[in-house]
Structure 1
Amino acid sequence: MFKRLCIIGTGLIGGSIARAARAQGLCQEIVAFGREKNQPNLQLAKDLGVIDQFYTHISAALDHADLVIIATPVGSMQSIFELIKPYWSATALYSDAGSTKASVVSAIEAVFGHVPNNFVPAHPIAGAERSGVDASNAELFKNRRLIITPLNNTDPQAVEKLTRFWEQIGSSVSEMSVEHHDTVLAATSHLPHILAFALVGLLGRKDEQREIFKYAAGGFKDFTRIASSDPTMWLDICLANKQDIIPLIRQFKAELSNIEQLLVDDQSQQLFDTFTYARNARQRFLDTLDD
């Protein structure tokens, strides 16, 4: 399908894209670009067979590449586009794997003055507790959603090629606007991560923390699993999408305050109704997964 896939950012996501593409025979060669300080990670990726070769000079990495996927934290996107710009090819397909889309679009606009029509913003809805290329696997995107957020000027053929690429590595591809993507992901991914970080931070600072964690049940482990996520990546995501996250935090604080008052007033029926509504809402969500 592609002659040369260039991955920029060979961590969990970038490494898993490379592994999946190789497993499905979607490219003849896979290379990676990284900074000189990241050579040990790049060498590990090569030793693991994730990539065929790596480069610390962007021109060499992009040479003859017909598919380029940027899988770095969203906060570094503008600097990556600045590196790529002198070597941008009109015949290649470019995309990203960022968890926020407005910030990525703003970053490329800041560098190019516009969004090139062969750049297709995308976001694989997949992840894992562990980060790094050694945690990557070819099955990470199987039966997971991939959201493409094309712009008005995006080349339809580029969208079609990227869609086929992700479908062939097992993803279910959806399209939505940049703005809608960021609003939806703020509620379904970004806020839950913040809540998990906050809860674990709260309990971790208590004097009796060892006893708290010793007696934590499985529900605690399940709910706080995402607090093991990469702090650097989530710092970038939260800053990039704070305009959607902050209103949700305020709404969540209001929900907690309401429950607090119900407890203060011993309003058992209202508490029961609140818990019942939440349970039923979650069941409706689970039912949609079975459709």
Structure 2
Amino acid sequence: MRLPDAAAGRRITAPVAGALHTRLDALRRLDDQLGSGQLRPLAEAELQLITDLLTAGSYSQATMNSLFSAASEASRICGWLAYDTGHHTTARRHYLTALRTAAGAGDDIAGAHALSYAAIQAYSTDRPRDAVKMLDAAHSRTRAVATPRMQAMLHARQARAFSKTGGDRAACIRAINAAFDAYAQGPHDDDPAFTYWVSEAELLSIAGSSALSQGDHRQAISYFRRATDAAAYDATDTRGRRPSTTSERRRRTWVWVRWRTPVLPRHVPCAAWVG
């Protein structure tokens, strides 16, 4: 998607930049529902639109920073969608662009967010120690500005990276505990929009996956059971009522359980955590 020549030099205002951020938030949530394959062309078009606005438009310094932040998040989304569909070289290119545009905006939060997704790709492609270093850098750059919920996200992903190094069990446990401690501080008004998915159930699921990667099947089952209960507690029916019985809670979260949890080894009885 290219801007017409008539748009060259057009003044881009703060509300326009804000609308782009709103569209990116919608893209993030659509990924939860539709999956990466269908969204890649839409995300690429969104990134091209923002790039064209930066190239052809005129704007204040504050709006320029907002546009660069939007470009960073659009690149991050494109990177995630490329990674999720197996296009790893393209994903790395998008993550690098996300880091560069975040730096252009002076936006350490956006940079750390992009770096955390690059870390997912690293620890999922046999480079867990690189992922640990990436997340160390993300923590270092945002320690003074990240909200507790974002810190919880970074700690959880670092735990996942440690779990895949073949050792570092103590470091993994410390990272998991740090994630729960940060999350326990509660939400903040300035939580980044991209942390909408961070919940107790998600953190417990990540902790369970980490324990499973380290071969601690009993601990993994414990975390997955707690994740199921946490997700069930948050579930409501169409009239806004919370499920009132254990069986009802488990029934409502069965889809969540099947989607979020990895396959346990055959010798681990599934009934131990769903029964």
The TM-score bracket by the shorter chain reads: 0.3 to 0.5
> Which structure has the highest helix share of the two?
2
> Which structure has the highest strand share of the two?
1
Question: TM-score under structure 1 normalisation?
Answer: 0.33
Decide which structure has the larger Cα Rg and report it: 1
Q: Which has the higher contact order (CA 8 A, sep 6+)?
A: 1
Question: TM-score under structure 2 normalisation?
Answer: 0.34
